[in-house]
Structure 1
C-alpha cells in the first residue's frame, strides 16, 4: 500500500509504506470529474501552481490517472477542451524543478514556453520545464500523457533545456517513430515488472529522450556550460588520488549529483570518470618515479601514493599505458 501526499510545491508524490519490498504498482485507476472546479483542484494536486480554464460550452468531463516508475512519474489526462497556464508568480510561490515530456496520444494541443510555440497532433511530443512559465491548451477529446523526471537527474544544462522546451518532436520524424511508441508502451505497461526492471526501463527511456533532445536543439557552446563542473571534478580527483576507493561513486556522493549526470558530463569531454582517475594516477606515479625528490622511494610506495590497490595492478596498468614496466621506465629516464 502506498501513501499519497504533496510536496512543498504542491506536486503529487508517492511514498512507499515502510517495510514493503514488493514490486511497485504500475497501474492506477482513473479519477473522473464532470465539475470544472473539482477538476482544477485535481490538476493542481498533480502539477502544483497552475490555472485551469475550460474552453468548451459542452458539459465538462475529465479523467486522470497517475503511475510511478521509479524516479519517473506519468500522468494521463483525457479531457474536454481546456487550457493550463503556469505563470511566473506561480513559479515563485510554488517552485519545482521537473523536466517533463508531454505526449499527445489522441487529439491535438498547443504548447508555449519561452520563445517557442508548438502545435501537436497524435504521436507528437514536447519537453516542458516546471521551473518556468508555460501554457498547454488541449482540444476536445484529447488524450495527453506527461512523463516527469527531476531535472537534476537528467543531466541537461539550463541553456540546453531552454533550447529544447516547447519544440515539437513529430511522430513521423526518425526519432519520433522510435520514441512515441516507446513512451506509449511505457505508460501502458502492465503489472509484474520488478523494482529493478522498472528502474532500468525508466533510465533507458530518459537516456533515449536526452539523445533526442540534444539532436533537436543543442546550444552552440555546450562545453562551456559544463566546463566549470568538469574542471572542479578533475581538481577533486587530483586532490584525492591517494584514496584507493576513489571512483565515479565518490564523485556522485561529493557533488550531490546522480550517477547518470556525472557520467554524462565526462562524456561531453570524451572521457569517463574511471578513465580520468586511471590516467591521473598513472601520470602522478610516472612523475614521482622520475623526480629527484622521489629517487629513493620504492615503486611499491609510489604506487600506493598514486592510489593503486596493489603493486601488481599498478605494474599491469602502467605497462599497458607506456609499453614497459614501471621499473624499466624508471631506469630508462633517470
Structure 2
C-alpha cells in the first residue's frame, strides 16, 4: 500500500538556511511512519520550508533496488534495515555518507563518537533500535514473576506454553544466553559445532511446550488468548499491547537481541541538497529523542537518552520501555547480520530438521 503525506507547517525560528522545494522519503507505513511524521517531518518543514512527501511501502529496499536498476530513482531517502542497506551499498545503489556531515551532539561530540556501535556504516545512518525480547503475562505469575532469559527455558519453575519464533535466528542466540553464555561471546560459541549442538540441546528443553509463530502480530495475540504464558516477541508489539490496549504483559530485557533501522540515500535521487538537510535534521540527538517518544524504539545516539520524555501526550516515561535504556542493556546482544549471511542456509536446514524430529 502506498500513501503520500504532505504536511505544511508554519515557519518557526529556523536554525537551518531556508530552502525551497521538497524531499521524497520512503518508509514502512503504520505507526512507524507516523512517528517519523511527528518527530521529523513536521518540525523539518517548519524549520526549513521544505515539503516532505512520504511514500509507504512494505519494504523500502525492494523498490529502491528496482528504481536503481531502471535508472529512474524517485526517492531521496529511504528507511531500511542494516543488512539491506549494506547489500544495496555494496551493489552501488546508495550514496556513501560521511559521519562528519551529520549534526554533532549538543556538547560538540562528533556524530561518529555519539552513535552506538553499528549505528553508522558506509551508506547507513541509524534512526532507531528495536529488539526481540521475552514477554510474559503478568497475571499468570503473581507470586514469582520470571526475570531472566534463563526463566524462559525453565519449565519447572515457570510452567506453561512458550511462544517460539519458527526460524533459527534469535532462537540460537537466546538458547546460548539462557545456557550461561555471555552476550559478547554468543556468536563465537555459535560459530563452532559444539556451540550449535549446545544451542539445539537447550531448545530441546522447551520444544514440547512450544507454540511456533511467524508474524510479529502473533505473540501478543497468543498471550492475550492464553495460548502461551511466555513468548519471544518484538518489543514494540508488546509495548503497544500493554500501554495502548491495557494488556497485563511485561518485557524481560535480559537477553534482548537488538537491531537497527536507518536512512539511506539512493544514488541519483531528485533532490540531493534537500535530502542531506533532512538527513542531518532527522538524525540529530533531539530529533531521534522525539521519535522515541512516539514509538518504543530506542534512539541510536548516546546523547539522545537524556532528552527522551514521556510517551506521546501521556504521563508514561518512555525511557524504561526502550531497548537502549542503560538498565535494559545489561545483557543485551547486538544481532550479527554477517553471521547469519554466512550461516542462514545451513541453520535453516538444521532447524527444519529439528522441528520435524
TM-score between both structures, scaled by the size of structure 1: 0.22
TM-score between both structures, scaled by the size of structure 2: 0.21
Q: With a CA cutoff of 8 Å and minimum separation of 6, indicate the structure with the bigger relative contact order.
A: 2
More strand by share: 1
Q: Specify the structure having the higher radius of gyration (Cα).
A: 1
